[in-house]
Copies of this chain bind each other. A is one copy, B any other.
């Protein structure tokens, strides 16, 4: 039976920062990355936090991303900026673009930063939340390498391109919708298969093209279903077109097998002085229908509060490996 250890926020943050400094990041960047990955775990997304930390650290050595690169502006058209990520650190590039979008929104009402040639942002919700904390509405998305089939065909040519919508709240709620366009992520399918469990809803097609709740059959066919079937397929394609064309980057259809980079879009809208209290008014109206009615991000907030109080539960071998790496 697997053993778990509970890790406090400060301990995880310091450990991550220390390892990233040993990998050659300066103290500030190491802290920023460590905070994003720690926050992901405390928000309940270990798959983009502690469970992925060593892979993230490795990618700075093996050429998966360039730890010394900075994003570079390519084109500036008042409220629309286009950047090259120079294959730098995905989460840092994405935070920088969120802040560019907010700055533009504060000057022009709305702003967009599109970035090409960047690397995996880990979890999109991070950037939606960041934009909302600066008082703006946010819309962000990324393209990904191909992991879904074009609707009605057996061509695996479409990404499950996650999209994020976020809204500021005068009560400092984190109202963040962060959704991949496959019904379930491959990480979720793998976890459910390992646990020997069926999915609650159809998650994809088996080899014979029949909808199934069996995660193993979907992993075998590599045929995860887009949200809303043909609708999610269409949306995934549009998001890829927007992000790659607006940034001048590479579309999913043209990504190389190895060493691909991604394109991302960050839109911020400044709602004016009463925006965040108007949002709060809608949430309160929603909640009048009962506590069981949820807004996007509410579950994440709850998990975060629990984890901050009792620590995140991490499989012992995972944490042990991280501790050993830090001791080297």
Contact = CB atoms under 8 A, between A and B. Distances in A.
A157 B290 CA distance: 12
Nearest to A227: B228
Contact of A150 (B110, B253, B269, B293): B293
A19 interface: no
A177 interface: yes
Contact of A278 (B177, B245, B282): B245
A311 interface: no
B294 A165 contact: no
Contact of A292 (B112, B153, B211): B153
Given A77-B272, A110-B80, A155-B293, A285 B179 contact: no
A167 interface: yes
The binding surface of chain A is classed by DSSP as mixed
Given A282-B251, A285-B254, A165 B238 contact: yes
Given A78-B108, A179-B234, A245-B282, 17 more contacts: A77-B272, A109-B112, A110-B111, A110-B267, A151-B294, A153-B292, A157-B289, A175-B238, A177-B234, A177-B235, A179-B235, A183-B229, A227-B227, A227-B229, A234-B296, A244-B278, A253-B286
Interface of A: 75, 77-80, 107-112, 137, 139, 150-153, 155, 157, 165, 167, 175, 177, 179, 181, 183, 201-202, 211, 227-229, 231-232, 234-235, 237-242, 244-246, 248, 251, 253-254, 267, 269-272, 275, 278-279, 282, 285-286, 289-290, 292-296
